[in-house]
Structure 1
Amino acid sequence: MRYTLRQIEYFIATAETGSITLASERVNISQPSISTAIAHLEEELGTQLFIRRHAQGLSLTSAGRLLLVEAKQLIEQAEHVYSVASEVGERVRGQLSLGCFITLAPMVMPELSHSFTSTYPESRIVQTVADHEQLLERLLSAELDVAITYDLLIPDEFEFLPLASLPPHVVVSEAGPLARHSAVSLQELAREPLILLDLPISREYFLSMFMKEGLEPNIASRSTHQDVIRTMVANGYGYTLANVRPRCELALDGRRVSRVRLSGDHRPMVIGVLTLSQSRKPRLVTVFEEHCRRFVSDAYIPGMVAPVMERRTFLGQIDGDGSLPGDGSSS
């Protein structure tokens, strides 16, 4: 055999991204190294794997598509060798394919992944960011080993380990009138313009809160991008509902948003670790689950204001007459 597993990994990265530039960023190696590896594979195998289109990047040939299936199986088998060795020697090593829900990823993923690989230096984490439905699909197809997501519509073939509970709250412009309220109800919000997070299942979660109270929200705009929504809110286009609590209150354009408590009894979203149900999980997965259990809780969530700390903040704001500063009822 005159090709290496590393060359196979470079081929997979290029095939899945359709670009040597993007493949280079994914595997953190130079573009010439990627090009050389692919050229070597094509020469060794005696077939063209990619069609080069300057404007459209790379696309797989029929032979390339067949090789991609085999290449993924080859890498999976190679990783399994590490898993077996790890379990026999009680060492934690190998590659973990980790997915994360798109709104959680910017805050949770970097610190959680770094802390794990620092604790277990022979491990490596490959990160994927996606919405909830995509995470389920990729776990089922074995593209992912584990995912950090919410407890929304978990099918029976999955296991969910709860870590922390995030009640919904309202995000408003710091300069807007709602920012002066200590709390606001859905009845008060129904007539205000809503900038809706338009992701599968998340969308239904937020809209169901209005339906439960017989209300219809005034949806002014929708976006699948959390940062776009925060910037629109900061610029006064409307409010949004959210569960994540970034430590920074700045939108990407430098304007500020404010969090306002949502009054009433609303189902929280629970952050947890999602895996396929199986009789015996790989040691790397079980160790990662335990790491998450120790690292994420109501008292501490990477990149976020933890729910316990936020509850203490609300309690600390209560003044002598039992109202909160800025609450219209105290005037």
Structure 2
Amino acid sequence: MTRSFTLVQLRYFCAVAELENMTAAAAALNVTQSTLSSAVAQLEQVMGTQLFTRLPRRGLRLTSAGRRLHDNALRLLEEADQLPGVVREEGPTLVGDLTVGVFGPLAPFRAAVILEEFEREHPGVTLSFLEGDQEFLRRALRDGRCEVALMYDLGLGGELPRRVLRRIPPHVIVSPDHPLAATPDQPVSLRELAGEPFILLDLPHSREYYLSLFKLLGVAPRIRHRASGYETVRAFVARGHGYSVLNQRLPHDLTYAGSPVVPLPLAEELPPIEVLLVRPIGSRPTLKAQAFEDVCLRVYGVAPEFPID
């Protein structure tokens, strides 16, 4: 006998999966919690397996079966949303919600531009960014909280499918009063700076990357301050508290407070950071996720013929 389920049940299930909380999902869907709980229970019965792990005082987590259902349900619901346009021969029109992860220090540089391009092309889709550090985004991809993420190649391992958008080499920043600021086009060596106070961007995996650059040269930095904010690092450098090494560079060299920093090229050829589009393991992108990836490729100027590996 064929086991039946409804699109409504799938929509309810996806809402619970994304919010990881029955009460919050019920409020978002404007239904009672008992209605939502019953729909999920019926779906579990139809699928013949548990879809969520109930964690006391911590909400719900998808089981491995639940994650597989979530990935496939998103595509099925998206195809269902396209049916009215197909019937009217209007062609596909993307609608619904899309959540994308973005690495915190990367967000100010590209997120707003990508959002503007995406909304212009796909006004029926509500695009939301889930901002965090590398480890947070890796877990968000694993747990299905975002369909794709814009992040660095730091701490990912080799299992997550990714596409390289840009390779950004490291550079040094110093204050305008630093002796090296007088010749900003002259490459400088990290060995030359190693004895001076260093301001470290202290984020998971980022700090290991920056410290590895010194290790490759056989020197150790004299860490004076640690900061988890990209702009905080630049502000400390601008005020003369030390130098730093970063990758992303603003179109201007002013901090939020209006003080300038002076970027300097490195004499050594050191490993760059890669900006990536990353997908969850074993997932196929929805049409909305694929549309987001296409916009990113254009914004970063990447040829579209090479798929995510």
Structures share a fold, TM > 0.5? yes
Q: Identity over the aligned pairs, expressed in percent?
A: 31
3-state SS of paired residue (1:103): helix
Aligned to 2:213: 209
1:83 aligns with 2:90: no
Aligned to 2:129: 127
Aligned to 2:194: 190
Q: 1:43 to 1:281 in 2, by over 3 A?
A: closer
> Which of these residues, 269, 272, 290, is aligned with residue 273 of structure 2?
269
What amino acid maps onto 1:162 in structure 2? Answer: V
Give TM-score scaled by structure 2 length: 0.72
**What is the rounded CA distance, in whole Å, between the counterparts of 1:173 and 1:194 in structure 2?**
12
Aligned to 1:112: 114
Task: Kindly tell me the number of residue pairs found equivalent between the two proteins.
Answer: 264
User: Where does the alignment leave 5 or more consecutive residues of structure 1 unmatched?
Assistant: 17-22, 24-36, 46-61, 299-331
Q: 1:150 to 1:87 in 2, by over 3 A?
A: farther
What displacement does 1:225 show? 1.0
> Which of these residues, 220, 225, 228, is aligned with residue 224 of structure 2?
220
8 Å CA contact 2:170–2:266 kept in 1: the answer is yes
**What is the rounded CA distance, in whole Å, between the counterparts of 1:238 and 1:136 in structure 2?**
32
Aligned to 2:248: 244
Give TM-score scaled by structure 1 length: 0.67
8 Å CA contact 1:231–1:251 kept in 2: the answer is yes
1:94 aligns with 2:90: no
Q: Bigger shift: 154-163 or 182-191?
A: 154-163
What displacement does 1:153 show? 3.5
> Superposition RMSD on alpha carbons, in Å?
3.9
**What is the rounded CA distance, in whole Å, between the counterparts of 1:205 and 1:103 in structure 2?**
14
3-state SS of paired residue (1:183): coil
Aligned to 2:299: 295
User: Where does the alignment leave 5 or more consecutive residues of structure 2 unmatched?
Assistant: 1-10, 36-55, 87-91, 303-309
Aligned to 1:306: none
8 Å CA contact 1:157–1:276 kept in 2: the answer is no
Q: 1:237 to 1:63 in 2, by over 3 A?
A: closer
Q: 1:13 to 1:174 in 2, by over 3 A?
A: farther
Which stretches of structure 1, 4 residues or longer, exceed 6 Å deviation after superposition? 12-16, 40-45, 72-78
Q: 1:210 to 1:156 in 2, by over 3 A?
A: closer
**What is the rounded CA distance, in whole Å, between the counterparts of 1:294 and 1:84 in structure 2?**
25
